Structure 1
C-alpha cells in the first residue's frame, strides 16, 4: 500500500493506559457536533411535544454515532487523509466532484445556521442582545477559535473545545437534578415507535443532529492533523486503541447530555404553552426550576453555539479543500458561511424552527457521507491491517439502511401531508 503524501510523525506510545492520554482529543472536538444548538432544539422539542416517546431515537442515534465516528477516525489514521480528500481523488469527472461538493457544502451550511442561531439566542437570553448582534458575535468568536487551530496547532484547539464541552455538560445537565423524571416512562421511551408524522419529523431531526455528516467529514481530518499517516504495526494498534477510548468518552458525554435535555423537557415542559421555542423553553425552565437553572441552561447553549460553529467551519473548509482542492482564506470563508444564518435573523424567521429544520437537512446528508465511509473502510488495499471486520461492515450497513429508510419515510409523509 503506498504511503500517502501526508506523513506526520506520531510519538511511539507504550501500552500503559496513562500513556494513551496524550493521544486523546480529536473525538472530543468531533463530538461537539453532537452537542450543538440543533441537538438542543430537536431534543427539547421532542420532549416538550411527545414526552418520553423518542428517548429510543436519541439512544439509537448515539449508538450508531460511536461506530461511525470510529470508522472516520480510523480512516484518517490509516491513510493520512480525510474522507473529503479521498473522495476528491476518486471522482472520475469534474461534474461529479462538484455535485458531491454542493450537497456536502449545503449540509455544512445547514450546520452553521443551527450553530450561529443557537449562539445568538443564548446571547439574547443572557445579555438581552439583538439576535443579529448575537449572531455576528458568535461568528467572530468562532473565527478566533479557528485562528487558534491554524496558528497554534490541534492540541490548544482541542483543549479549548474540551473546556467548552465541560461547560455545555454542566449547563444542560444541572436542571435534571431538580426535575421529577418518571422512570417508568423513560423505560417505555426506549421501545421504538412513532405516534404521528410529527414524531417522525422530530426523529429525523434528532438523528440529523446526532449522526451529523460534517462530523463524519471532520473526524478523519482531525486525526490526520493530529497523527498524520500512522504505519501499520504496534504504533497504529495503540493509536487506534486510544481512539476507541477517545470516541467512547466523547459520545458517552454527548449521549448523556442529549438524553438529559429530552428528559428535562419531558419532565418540565410537556403541555406548557410557548415551549416550542428555545426562548419559551428557557422561560418555562426558569418558572419550573428557578432562574439559576435557567441561566445555566443559557450558558450551556452559548458554549454549544461557540464550540460547534468552530468545528462546523473547520469541517466546511476541509470539504472544500478535499473535494475541490481549493484553499480559501479562513476569514473570507467564515464571512460567507455566516450569511445564511444572518439572513434568517434579519428576515425574522423563527430561530427555533430554523434550528429544527436545519437538522432535517442534515439527516438527508447522512447517506452521502456514511455510504462512502463504509465502502472505503472495507478496502484492504487502502487500510491494510485496519480494514473493517465483516461484522463491522454489517453493523455500519444496517445503520446506513436505517437512516436512509427513515429519510424516505419522512419524504413520503411530507408529500402525502400525513
Structure 2
C-alpha cells in the first residue's frame, strides 16, 4: 500500500487533533466569562454555553475537513488563493492574531503562577517563555507526544472541576433545565451582554489554522473514512470543552450566585473560593487555571508556526519563531503590568484584536469548504452551507457588537 495507512487502523488511532484545539475553548478568557455569567445570572446562561459549543464544533469540523480533503492547511490555501498584497495583508492579520492569542493564554498562566506560588505577575509572565522549550522537547518524540501532553492537561482541567463541583454540590434539576433551554435572562440587557461575550469569543482564528494542519498527520487512505473518524474526534473533544465551560458556570452559580457575589476576575474567584469551600477548592481552581494556560499557550505557538510556514511556503525554525511570537506578546504585556494594567484588561485587549481578524479567517474557510473544485466529494452540502454562513455572520455580528460596545460603551 506504499505510504497509505492500513484500513485496519482502529477508530481511536485518529483521536488527537480535536483534543489539541479543544483547549482553545477552555482557555483563561473563557474561564473569566463563564465565572461572571454564573455568579451574576446563576444557571440562566448555561444554554448559551451549549449553543457556543455547537458553533465551535461546526467550524472546527470545517477546518478539519479542509485539511483532510485537500492535504493542505488553511494558511496554505489562503496563500494560494489570495496572492499579492491581499495575501500579505492576510498573513499580517493572521500573525497578529497569533500574538494576540498568545497574550491571552500566557496571561492566564501567569495569573495561575501568581496565585499558586505568589510570584510577581511580571516575573510569572516571563517564566511562561519556558513552555516554548517544552514544546520543542516533546516534538522530538513525534506529534503523538504533543497531543498526549495536551490531552493530559485537558484531563487535569476536567479533574479540577470534578473536585469543584463535588464541593459546590449544584442543583441538578436546575442545571439540566438550563443547559438545553433558553432563559428569560437573555432578554435582560445585562444578561444579553454577558451571553454575547460567551458567544462572541467562541471561534478563535488560531484554532482553525491549527486544526486544518494537524489533521494532515492522519492522512493516507480514503478521505471520507478519515474524515468520519476525525469528525468523531472533534465532537468528543469539544464536548469535553463544553462540559468544562459548563462546569465553570455551574460552580460559579452554586458557590458565588447563591451568596450574591459577582465574580469578574480570575484572582477574585481564587481568593473567594478558599473561605467558602476550603483550600482544596482554591487549589483545584489554581491548578486547573495553570493547566489551561499552559495547554492553550502551547497550541497558540504551534498555530503560529502553521501560519508562518503556510504563508511563506518555507519551513520555519521552530525555536526562533516561537520565541519571537512569545516575546512580541510578553514585552508589551510586561510593560503594561509594570504600569498597573490588570491581567483581565490585557485579555480583553487580545479579544479586540481577534475580533478584527476573525472575518479574514472564518469567511474564507466557509467559502473554501463549499467549493467542489477544492473539496471534491467532501464539499459542504446545502444544509451545512446554510449553517456555516449563518454561524459565520452571527459570530461576526456578535464580535462587532462587543467591539463597538467596548469602544463606545
TM-score (norm 1): 0.88
Trace 1:183-194 onto structure 2 (pairs within 5 A).
183-184=173-174, 187-188=177-178, 190-191=181-182, 193-194=186-187
- Conserved 8 A contact 1:208-1:366: no
Secondary structure, aligned partner of 1:81:
coil
1:152 aligns with 2:141: yes
199 and 104 in structure 1: CA distance in 2 versus 1, 3 angstrom threshold: farther
| Residue pair 1:204, 1:363 contacting (<8 A) in 2 also | no
Residue 288 of structure 2 corresponds to residue 294 of structure 1:
no
1:244-273 deviations in whole A, cap 9, x for unaligned? 210111011100000110121122223666
Q: Which residue of 1 aligns with 2:273?
A: 285
Deviations 1:332-357 (A, max 9, x none): 22233223244243333111232244
1:55-94 correspondence to structure 2 within 5 Å:
55-93=46-84
- Residue 160 of structure 2 corresponds to residue 166 of structure 1: no
Partner Cα distance (1:113, 1:412) in 2: 21
Write the deviation string for residues 11-53 of structure 1: whole angstroms up to 9, x where unpaired. 1223xxx811112111110111112112112211222334334
Return closer, same or farther for 1:133/1:274 CA change in 2, 3 Å cut-off.
farther
Instruction: Specify the alignment match of 2:133 in structure 1.
Output: 143
Q: In the alignment, which residue of structure 2 is the partner of 1:30?
A: 21
Show the counterpart of 1:223. 215
User: Structure 1 residue aligned with 2:3, among 1, 4, 9?
Assistant: 9
- 1:267 matched to 2:257: no
RMSD: 2.4
1:387 maps to which residue? 379
The counterpart of 1:195, out of the listed 173, 188, 201, is 188
Match of 2:370 in 1: 378
Q: String of CA shifts for 1:141-160, please: whole Å, max 9, x gaps.
A: 243224422x3321111111
Change (3 A) 1:194 1:88: farther
- How far the C-alpha of 1:181 sits from its partner, in A, is 3.0
**TM-superposition CA deviations, 1:34-76 (whole Å, max 9, x none):** 1211211221122233433432321111001111111111111
Give the superposition deviation at 1:280: 1.1
Instruction: Name the structure 2 match of 1:369.
Output: 361
Deviations 1:377-411 (A, max 9, x none): 11112111111111111111111121122223334
Change (3 A) 1:111 1:336: same
In 2: Cα distance, 1:178 partner to 1:20 partner:
36
Deviation at 1:213, TM superposition (A): 1.5
Instruction: Name whichever of 47-56 and 374-383 sits farther off.
Output: 47-56
CA distance in 1, matches of 2:65, 2:100: 26
Question: 8 Å contact 2:105–2:297 — kept in the other structure?
Answer: yes
Q: 1:317 to 1:298 in 2, by over 3 A?
A: same
Q: How many Å separate the matches in 2 of 1:338 and 1:158?
A: 21
Q: CA deviation at 1:372?
A: 0.9
Question: CA, structure 1 residues 236+322, in 2 after alignment: closer, same or farther (shift >3 Å)?
Answer: same
The one of 205, 208, 212 equivalent to 2:204 is 212
Contact 2:66 2:74 (8 Å CA) reproduced: yes
In the alignment, is the contact (CA less than 8 A) between 1:145 and 1:157 conserved in 2?
yes
Bigger mean CA offset, 284-293 vs 251-260: 284-293
**1:190-227 CA distance string (max 9 Å, x none):** 4162533x555544442354322110111001012x13
Are the aligned partners of 2:73 and 2:212 in contact in 1 as well (CA < 8 Å)? yes
Q: 5+ residue gaps in structure 1?
A: 1-7
* 1:5 aligned partner: none
Instruction: Report if aligned partners of 1:112, 1:309 keep a CA contact under 8 Å in 2.
Output: yes
Contact 1:146–1:314 (Cα < 8 Å) also in 2: no
Give the 3 Å change call, closer, same or farther, for CA 134–221 of structure 1 in structure 2. Answer: same
> Size of the alignment, in residue pairs?
399
Counterpart Cα distance in 2 of 1:413 and 1:49: 19
Which residue number corresponds to residue 181 of structure 1? 170
1:240 — aligned with what? 227
Structure 2: stretches of 5+ with no match in the other structure: none
